[in-house]
Amino acid sequence: MPPRSRLFANMPIKRKLVVIIMSVTIAALGVSGIASVVTDSRLFRAYLGRDLTVLAGIVAENSTAALSFEDPKSAGDTLAALRARTHVVAACILRADGQLFAEYSRDGKPGSCPAPVSADGVRFKGLELIVSHAIVLDQRRIGSLVLLYDLDEIEERVWLYGAATGIILLVSGLVALLLSARLQRVIAEPVSALARTTVAVSRSQDYGIRAQKRSDDELGVLVDAFNSMLTGIQSRDHELKQALQAREAALREAQSARDFLSTTLASIGDAVVSTDAEGRVVFANAVACRLMRRTGEDVAGRPLDELMRLVDEQTRDAVKSPDGPIAEHVLLVAHDGAEVPVDHSAAPIRDHQGNVAGAVLVFRDITERRRAERELRAAQEQLQLVTDTMAPAVTHCSRDLCYVWVSRRYAEWLQSTPESIAGRPIVEVIGAPALATIRPHIERVLTGERVEFQAQLVLPAIGRRWVRAVYVPSFDSGGAITGWVGDVSDITDLREAQAEVARINADLCKSNESLARSNEDLGRFAYAASHDLQEPLRMITTYVQLLARALPAQLDGEPKLFMQNVVDGSMRMRGLLADLLAYSEIGGDPVEPIGDVDLNGVLSTVLQNLQLAIEESGASIRSEKLPVVSGYSGHFVQLFQNLVGNAIKYRAVDAPRIRIACRAEERYLQFAVADNGIGIDTEYHAKIFGVFKRLHGKKIPGTGIGLAICQRVVERYGGRIWVESQAGKGATFFFTLPAEANESKGVTNERYGNTGA
Q: Choose which of 290, 531, 625, 716 interacts with another protein (CB under 8 A).
A: 531
Stretch that binds another protein, among 154-162, 225-233, 542-550, 663-671 (CB under 8 A): 542-550
Amino acid at site 90: A
Q: Choose which of 7, 571, 686, 757 interacts with another protein (CB under 8 A).
A: 571
Q: How far is it between the farthest Cα atoms of the chain?
A: 266
Does position 592 bind another protein by CB under 8 A? yes
Site track for another protein across 443-472, x = CB under 8 A: ------------------------------
Stretch that binds another protein, among 328-336, 406-414, 434-442, 529-537 (CB under 8 A): 529-537
The span from the CA of 448 to the CA of 475, in Å, is 9
Does position 605 bind another protein by CB under 8 A? no
CA-nearest of 176, 170, 188, 187 to 21 is 176
Does position 581 bind another protein by CB under 8 A? yes
Q: Which residues contact 310 (CB under 8 A, 6 or more apart)?
A: 318, 319, 321, 330, 331, 332, 333, 342, 344
Q: Choose which of 47, 525, 543, 692 interacts with another protein (CB under 8 A).
A: 543
Q: Choose which of 418, 483, 634, 719 interacts with another protein (CB under 8 A).
A: 634
- In the bound state with another protein, the residue whose beta carbon lies nearer, of 238 and 538, is 538
Answer positive or negative: Cα dihedral of 240, 242, 247, 248: positive
Q: Give the shortest CB-672-to-another protein separation in angstroms.
A: 28
Does position 8 bind another protein by CB under 8 A? no
Alpha carbon of residue 452 to chain centroid: 39
Stretch that binds another protein, among 99-107, 162-170, 426-434, 585-593 (CB under 8 A): 585-593
Q: Give the shortest CB-630-to-another protein separation in angstroms.
A: 19
Q: Give the shortest CB-531-to-another protein separation in angstroms.
A: 6
- In the bound state with another protein, the residue whose beta carbon lies nearer, of 507 and 592, is 592
Does position 303 bind another protein by CB under 8 A? no
Of how many residues is the chain composed?
A: 757
Q: Give the shortest CB-559-to-another protein separation in angstroms.
A: 18
Using CA atoms, how far residue 531 sits from 18, 201, 248, 583, in Å, is 162, 138, 122, 12
Q: Give the shortest CB-601-to-another protein separation in angstroms.
A: 17
- In the bound state with another protein, the residue whose beta carbon lies nearer, of 571 and 686, is 571
How crowded is residue 452: how many other Cβ atoms within 10 Å of its Cβ? 13
Does position 520 bind another protein by CB under 8 A? no
The span from the CA of 124 to the CA of 48, in Å, is 11
Q: Choose which of 585, 606, 641, 675 interacts with another protein (CB under 8 A).
A: 585
Which H/E stretch holds residue 399?
none
Does position 63 bind another protein by CB under 8 A? no
* Residues 738 and 667: beta-carbon distance below 8 Å: yes
Q: Choose which of 541, 711, 725, 736 interacts with another protein (CB under 8 A).
A: 541
* Residues 114 and 131: beta-carbon distance below 8 Å: no
Stretch that binds another protein, among 537-545, 605-613, 658-666, 687-695 (CB under 8 A): 537-545
3-state secondary structure of 507: helix
The span from the CA of 646 to the CA of 701, in Å, is 11
3-state helix, strand, coil in the chain (%, to 5): 50, 25, 25
Per residue, the 3-state secondary structure of 525-553, as one string, reads HHHHHHHHHHHHHHHHHHHHHHHHHHCCC
Does position 578 bind another protein by CB under 8 A? yes
The span from the CA of 334 to the CA of 344, in Å, is 15
Site track for another protein across 122-161, x = CB under 8 A: ----------------------------------------
The span from the CA of 517 to the CA of 110, in Å, is 204
Q: Choose which of 539, 655, 700, 757 interacts with another protein (CB under 8 A).
A: 539
Q: Give the shortest CB-550-to-another protein separation in angstroms.
A: 11
CA-nearest of 633, 557, 625 to 593 is 633
# residues contacting another protein (CB under 8 A): 22
Using CA atoms, how far residue 430 sits from 379, 425, 437, 454, 464, in Å, is 28, 9, 11, 16, 11
* Residues 695 and 684: beta-carbon distance below 8 Å: yes
Edge-to-edge strand ranges of the sheet holding 620-623: 620-623, 657-664, 668-674, 731-738, 721-725
Using CA atoms, how far residue 562 sits from 236, 462, 490, 536, 548, in Å, is 157, 83, 78, 19, 10
Does position 553 bind another protein by CB under 8 A? no
Does position 545 bind another protein by CB under 8 A? yes
Site track for another protein across 231-270, x = CB under 8 A: ----------------------------------------
Q: Choose which of 345, 570, 711, 742 interacts with another protein (CB under 8 A).
A: 570
Q: Choose which of 212, 231, 542, 748 interacts with another protein (CB under 8 A).
A: 542
Q: Give the shortest CB-574-to-another protein separation in angstroms.
A: 5
Q: What does the binding site for another protein look like in residue numbers (CB under 8 A)?
A: 531, 534-535, 537-539, 541-543, 545-546, 549, 570-571, 574, 578, 581, 585, 588, 591-592, 634
